[in-house]
Amino acid sequence: MKMNSLEDLLKEQLQDLYSAEQQIIKALPKMAEAATSSELRRAFEEHLKETEDQKRRLEELFEEFELDSGKKCVGMEGLIKEGQELMKEKGIDANVLDAGLIAAAQKVEHYEIASYGTLRTFAHELGYDDAASVLDEILQEEAKTNEKLTRLAESGINKKAS
């Protein structure tokens, strides 16, 4: 794709985010399985459902902008790989693993928050107000997930890991 305009950049970044969401959908069940805290496991399972819905909404934007899904998000690939390496650690304390899973998940959330916020701004600037609204809804969901992870960490998981 040629990148000669803000609209081109918006479309390229939408493809990037779609790839990111697909990767997250594959990673979340593994993270839920690795979590030893039932609250953390439940948070990952709930976020999986939410992420599947976000992917569906992105697919609707893909139709609107006539996009295909041929791009791979290398940024998300790296963040997920970090989390996978943590889950492969031999002899890691269960509480430390849970704290590490939260850290890995929050890195993912922060990536998504930055990406959705940027795309919402691009869409608004370009007059795609409906798309901007969809992107803002997803942005708010990602922010709430990040807050939920922070609450889990601060309500005992980090203390147990220390």
Query: pLDDT by residue (tens digit) across 87-137?
Result: 998 889 999 999 999 999 999 999 999 999 999 999 999 999 999 999 999
As a whole number, the mean pLDDT across the chain is: 95
Tell me the whole-structure pTM to 2 decimals: 0.94
> If you average pLDDT over residues 20-26, what whole number do you get?
97
What is the predicted pLDDT for the residue at 157?
94
Instruction: Report the percentage of the chain scoring pLDDT > 90.
Output: 93
Cα–Cα distance for residue pair 25/94, rounded to 1 Å = 23
What residues have CB less than 8 Å from 124, skipping those under 6 apart?
A: 132
150-160: pLDDT as tens digits = 999 999 999 99
What is the predicted pLDDT for the residue at 79?
96
Instruction: Report the percentage of the chain scoring pLDDT > 70.
Output: 99
What is the predicted pLDDT for the residue at 29?
97
For the beta carbon of residue 117, count every other beta carbon within 10 angstroms.
Answer: 15
Contact 23, 75 (CB under 8 A): no
Q: How far is C-alpha 101 from the chain's CA centre?
A: 14
Residue 13 has pLDDT above 80, yes or no: yes
Residue 55 has pLDDT above 90, yes or no: yes
> Domains of the chain (ranges plus CATH)?
6-161 (1.20.1260.10)
What residues have CB less than 8 Å from 14, skipping those under 6 apart?
A: 58, 61, 62, 65, 67, 119
